[in-house]
Amino acid sequence: MWATAADRLRRGRRTPPVRVLLPPALVVALVAACSQGSFDRTASDTASTLLGAAATLEFVHAGKATVPYGRAAFVEYGSRLDGVADELATLPGAPPRAEAQGLVALVRAATAVVDDPCLDRTCDWQRQQRILESAGRALLAASGGQGGG
């Protein structure tokens, strides 16, 4: 005689609670894995952000994007660049020290531009665009990516 349906259905079969624990465990492992950086990955991501910032600057001044758009976009770019200059040279796969330091200097200069972009005609936006593009292309080359434009 069995007491409950659960007992009867479970007779001869163990149902470990692993099926409940599996998805959260998987997520923790995945998040940990995705948190690992490498030089190539970080450099190409940063290059894309800097080239995107350069294009945004160009578009705003060419009248193709609004100033509010530009302002909000640079806030997003700034979030993406947060901490990159500090960790770039020490990431797995980073180039030799001298080259890495050169890239870090370019990233710092570009980050300063992103933190204070010139979205009106009172400042030299083209100089800023040059800083962003040269940093972006240098990072792209260092990561083994292919530049465009």
Partner 1 sequence: MTTPGEWPGAEKGIRGALLVRDILDGQLETRDHRKVGRVADVAAVRDPDGTVRAVELRIGPEALAGRISPRLRPLVAKVLRGRFDHRIPVTEIAEVGPTIRLRGLSDDYAVGQAEDWVARHILRWIPGSGRPASSPLRERY
Partner 2 sequence: MRIVTAVLLGVLTSTGGFLDAGSISTAASAGATFGLSLIWPIVVGTLAIILLVEMSGRLAAVSGKAYSEALRERFGFAFYLLPLSADVISNGFLLAAELGGVSIGLALLTGLDWHTVLPVSALLVFAMVWRAPFGLIEDLPSILGLSALLFVVAIVVQPPSGDILQALAPKVPGSGSAQYLYLVAAILGATMSPYLVYFYSSGAREDRWSRRSLRINRMTAVLGNGFGSLSAIGILVACSVVLQPRGITADSLSEVGLSLAAPFGQLGAIGFGLILFACCFGAALEVSLAVAYDISQGFGWEWGEEKKPVEAARFNLVLIIYIAVAFTLAFVIGDPLQLALFASALIALILPVALAPFLILMNDADYLRDQRNGVLTNLATIAVVILAFVVAAASLALLLLTGGGR
Q: Which residues bind partner 2 (CB under 8 A)?
A: 9, 15, 19-20, 22-24, 26-27, 30, 33-38, 41, 44-45, 47-49, 51-52, 55-56, 59, 63-73, 75-77, 79-80, 136-137, 140, 145-149
Shortest Cβ distance from residue 26 to partner 1 (Å)? 18
Nearer of residues 14 and 121 to partner 1, judged by Cβ: 14
Q: Does 15 bind partner 1 (CB under 8 A)?
A: yes
Q: How far apart are CA 9 and CA 133, in angstroms?
A: 66
Contact partner at residue 2 from partner 1, partner 2, none, CB < 5 to 8 Å by partner kind: partner 1
Rounded Cα gap, residues 61 and 138, in angstroms: 24
Residue 97 in the binding site for partner 1 (CB under 8 A): no
**Cα–Cα distance, 93 to 43 (Å, whole number):** 11
Residues with Cβ within 8 Å of 11's Cβ and at least 6 positions away in sequence, in order, are 2
Binding window for partner 1 (CB under 8 A); candidates: 15-23, 77-85, 86-94, 117-125: 15-23
Non-local (6+) Cβ contacts of 20 within 8 A are none
CA angle, 143 then 146 then 149, to 5°: 130
